[in-house]
Amino acid sequence: MFDLIREGGHELAMLCHDAESGLRAVIAIHDTTLGPALGGVRIAPYATDEDAVRDALRLAKAMTYKASLAGLNLGGGKSVIIADPARDKSEALLRSMGRYVQVLGGRYIPGVDSGTTQDDLRVLALEADRVSCVGADPSPFTAAGVHAAIHAAMRHLHGSPELTGRRVAVQGVGHVGAALAGLLARDGAELVLSDARMDLAEAVAGQLGARTVEPDQIAAVACDVFAPCALGGAIDDAVLGALDAAVVAGAANNVLAEPYHGVELHRRGVLYAPDYCANAGGIILLAEELLGHDAATAERRVRGIADTLDRIWRRSRVEDLPPESIADRMAEERISAIRRLGPPPVPQRGTY
C-alpha cells in the first residue's frame, strides 16, 4: 500500500475498522495544497481489500485535478466502504464512518457517491463537523456542466452551440444521465439512450421522445456526441473500434480505460472533453454550498466549464497534445504555483 501511495503522490490513506457496525473502509487524501480534500463516500462490495484501496486512491487523485481545474480552493479525497449498499448499510455503519471522518479534523470533507445518498450524509453529519451534500442535490448541476461542455464542443467544431437536429447518444440514464437527456431534448437534439437497466432507458425515452438501443450498441451509434454517463472505462479497445462520434463528452468518471485511448481519440480527430472538467458541476455546487452561497451562484460558475474547455482545446490544438494531457497540465500548474507559497493555514469550520 505504501508503494501505491508513493506512486500516486498521495498524502494519506487511512484504513477504518469497527467490528460492532461492520465498518471496513478506506479514506484517501491525495493533495490538500489548495484546501481541504472534498470527495464522495462510495459503498461497494469490492472483491478484495486491495481493489478498495486502489479505487479510493485513484478517485482521490481525480478529485484533486477536478477541483484545481474548476478553480476551487479544495483538494482531492475519496472514501470507500467495503459493503453491499442494498444489504449492509445502516445508521451504525454510517455513524461509525462519520467518527473516522471527524478524526481528520476537517482535512477531508465527505460527499455523495455511488451507494450513498444525501440522507446518508446527514447521518455522517451527526458525527462529523464538515460534511457536504446535505443541501441541494448535486446531480442536476453535474448534468448542467456536461450540457455546457457539449454546447462548447459544438461551438468549437461548428462555430455555433446550436444542438437542434444534432444526435447525442447517452450511455446511462441514472440521476445525472436522465437530467442531461432532458436538457438536450429541450435543445432539440435527437437522442439515443441506453442503460444497463433497459426498463429505465425506455421510461426516460418515452418521456423525451427518444429512441433506445441495447447497452452493447450505444457506442456504435452514428452521432455528433457520445455522452458516457455510467461507469468509468467507457472508452476501451472495443468501444474505440466501434465509436462513430465527433465528440466524447459525458458525466462518467475516468472515461478513458487507459491513457492511450485518449491519445487515439486525439489522433482520429475526435474531440474529447476531459471527464473531470466536464462533470465538475457537482463539486462546484458543493464548494459554493460550503461557502454559504446560493444555487444561482453555483449555476453561474458551472457555466464557466465551457470557458475552461475552450482553453483546453485551444492549447491542445496548438501543442498537438490530447485534451486530457493539457487538462492535467493546467491543474498541476495551479497546484504547483500555490504550493510554492508554503503550507496552507489550518482550515476553519465553514470556510475552505
Taking CA 181 as the corner, what is the angle to CA 210 and CA 169, rounded to the nearest 5 degrees? 65
> Catalytic: which of 61, 66, 78, 89?
78
Rounded CA gap, 106 and 124, in Å? 13
Domains in the chain: ranges and CATH = 2-124 (3.40.50.10860), 139-321 (3.40.50.720)
Q: What is 21-84 written as a DSSP string?
A: TTEEEEEEEEE-SSSSEEEEEEEE--SSHHHHHHHHHHHHHHHHHHHHHTT-S-EEEEEEEES-
pTM of the shown model: 0.89
Which amino acid appears at position 11 of this protein? Answer: E
Give the pLDDT band (50/70/90) at residue 295.
confident
Rounded CA gap, 108 and 75, in Å? 9
Instruction: Copy the grid coordinates of residue 291.
Output: 461557502
pLDDT 10s digits, 91-136: 999 999 999 999 999 999 999 888 999 999 999 999 999 998 777 7
pLDDT 10s digits, 282-293: 999 989 888 888
In 3D space, the residue among 154, 155, 210 whose CA is nearest the CA of residue 177 turns out to be 210
Higher-confidence residue of 335 and 253: namely 335
Residues of the chain above pLDDT 70, percent = 97
Give the pLDDT band (50/70/90) at residue 348.
low
List all residues 6 or more positions away from 171 whose beta carbon is below 8 Å from its beta carbon. Answer: 177, 194, 195, 215, 218, 219, 226, 227, 228, 229, 230, 234, 250, 252
Give the pLDDT band (50/70/90) at residue 346.
low
CB 124 within 8 A of CB 101: yes
78 is catalytic: yes
CB 321 within 8 A of CB 178: no
Q: Residue 245, exposed/middle/buried by CB under 10 A (0-12, 13-18, 19+)?
A: buried
CB 59 within 8 A of CB 231: no
Q: Please check the confidence at residue 318 and state whether its pLDDT lies above 80.
A: yes
pLDDT 10s digits, 247-266: 999 999 889 999 999 999 99
Rounded CA gap, 62 and 70, in Å? 12
**8-state DSSP, 256:** B
Rounded CA gap, 238 and 230, in Å? 17
Phi then psi for residue 75, to 5 deg, are: -100, -170
Instruction: Copy the grid coordinates of residue 153.
Output: 464542443
